[in-house]
């Protein structure tokens, strides 16, 4: 079979399955050689999962990434940035207020403690103690200074919010409000969008944050 035909067959197979494992690709290409499979994939825009030890594959145009470049198929995570280590680095660098371990673990749905330690040791990111927790920051000094300032700005008013609504939850709610700002977000819309992203936050908790930050509210029936 000509290479171009084998490549198209492989591409169509992944399109039909959406997410596949290497053993599936072995069957399609009729080989046990990973090198042969990767040669067939060389002309295809594919992604390797950052979860499950990189065991799963999909096509770039199948993934529907969120604003941070993350996409989940069931519990299988894919990232525009590739590996877990590169993804964590990107999220820390681009987090306005840096990232706590809990922020990253909730967003990525995998343990990231060892990855964070490796990145700190290799100086790709840095960390500082913030209110009893390690806050992970950009390795760029100017950027990390701004991140600490932003985190401090967010944290001060949080102390007046009920203790069961954690800082991480508040930040996720405020970030979603910003993402939806063009259409004047409602509390129910924010709660729904967060649930789709794997963050089931009750609408009443969103309303509490709206009240606290004096975010104008609109009821589902208003226009």
Residue 162 is predicted with a pLDDT of: 60
Per-residue pLDDT, 153 = 82
Contact 148, 130 (CB under 8 A): yes
Is there a domain that residue 150 lies in?
no
Question: Into how many domains does the chain fold?
Answer: 3
Spans in the chain with pLDDT lower than 50: 218-223
CA distance 39 to 138: 36
Q: Do 126 and 165 fall into the same domain?
A: no
Same domain? For 5 and 75 the reply is yes
Strand partners for 57: 20, 48
Looking at residue 41, what is its pLDDT?
Answer: 86
Q: Are residues 38 and 110 in the same domain?
A: no
pTM value surpassing 0.75: no
Domain end marker among 53, 82, 111: 82
Range of the domain at 89: 83-145
User: What's the confidence (pLDDT) of residue 18?
Assistant: 96
118 in the same domain as 171:
no
- Residue where a domain terminates, one of 145, 177, 194: 145
Query: What pLDDT score does 157 carry?
Result: 60
pLDDT of res. 204:
83
Confirm whether 154 is domain-assigned. Answer: no
- Res 219: pLDDT: 40
- On whether both 138 and 176 belong to a single domain, the answer is no
Residue 143: what pLDDT? Answer: 96
Q: Does any domain span residue 215?
A: yes
Question: Do 73 and 100 share a domain, yes or no?
Answer: no
CA 203/CA 191 separation, integer angstroms: 5
Chosen domain end from 39, 63, 82: 82
Task: Give pLDDT, residue 179.
Answer: 86
Looking at residue 16, its pLDDT comes to: 95
Domain shared by 33 and 54, yes or no: yes
> Does 11 share its domain with 76?
yes
Helices 34-41 and 22-29, interaxial angle, to 10°?
A: 80
């Amino acid at each position: 079979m000509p290479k171009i035909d084998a490549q198209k067959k492989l591409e169509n197979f992944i399109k039909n399955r959406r997410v596949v494992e290497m053993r599936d690709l072995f069957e399609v290409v009729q080989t046990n050689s990973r090198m042969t499979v990767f040669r067939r994939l060389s002309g295809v825009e594919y992604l390797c999962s950052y979860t499950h030890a990189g065991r799963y594959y999909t096509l770039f145009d199948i993934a529907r990434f969120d604003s941070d470049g993350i996409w989940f198929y069931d519990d299988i995570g894919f990232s525009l940035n590739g590996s877990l280590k590169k993804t964590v680095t990107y999220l820390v660098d681009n987090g306005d207020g840096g990232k706590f371990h809990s922020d990253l673990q909730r967003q990525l749905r995998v343990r990231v403690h060892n990855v964070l330690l490796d990145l700190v040791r290799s100086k790709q990111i840095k960390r500082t103690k913030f209110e009893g927790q390690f806050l992970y920051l950009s390795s760029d000094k100017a950027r990390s200074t701004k991140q600490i300032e932003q985190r401090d700005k967010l944290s001060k008013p949080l102390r007046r919010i009920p203790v069961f609504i954690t800082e991480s939850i508040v930040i996720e709610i405020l970030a979603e409000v910003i993402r939806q700002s063009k259409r004047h977000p409602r509390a129910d819309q924010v709660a729904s969008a967060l649930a789709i992203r794997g963050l089931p936050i009750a609408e009443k908790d969103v309303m509490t944050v709206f009240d606290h930050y004096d975010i104008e509210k609109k009821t589902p029936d208003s226009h």
